[in-house]
Amino acid sequence: MKVLKTKFPGLLIIEPDVFNDARGYFFESYNNQKFWLNNITYEPVQDNESSSSRGVIRGLHYQEEPFAQAKLIRVIQGRIYDVALDIRQGSPTFGKWYGLIIDSEKKLQFLIPKGFAHGFSVLSERAIVLYKCDNNYSVTHERGINVMDASLNIDWMIDKGKEIISPKDLKQPLLKDIATNFTFKR
Does 141 fall in a domain?
yes
Does 99 fall in a domain?
yes
Q: For the chain, how many structural domains are there in total?
A: 1
From the list 61, 81, 98, 118, the catalytic residue is: 61
Q: Which domain holds residue 106?
A: 2-177
Instruction: Kindly calculate the radius of gyration of the chain based on its CA atoms and give it in whole angstroms.
Output: 16
Sequence-separated (6 or more) residues with CB below 8 Å from residue 185: none
Does 186 fall in a domain?
no
> Average pLDDT of the chain?
96
Asked about 141 being catalytic, the answer comes back as no
Question: What is the DSSP secondary-structure string of 85-138?
Answer: EE--BT-TTTT-EEEEEEETTT--EEEE-TTEEEEEEE-SSEEEEEEEESS---
Q: What is the pLDDT of residues 93-150, one digit of tens each?
A: 999 999 999 999 999 999 999 999 999 999 999 999 999 999 999 999 999 999 999 9
Does 169 fall in a domain?
yes
CATH of the domain at 103: 2.60.120.10
Does 100 fall in a domain?
yes
Asked about 131 being catalytic, the answer comes back as yes
Q: What percent of the chain has pLDDT over 70?
A: 100
Does 184 fall in a domain?
no
Distance from CA of residue 83 to its chain's centroid?
6
From the list 30, 131, 137, 141, the catalytic residue is: 131
Q: What's the CA gap between 123 and 89, in Å, rounded?
A: 32
Does 185 fall in a domain?
no
Does 183 fall in a domain?
no
Residue 75: left if φ>0, alpha if ψ -120 to 50, beta else—which one?
A: beta
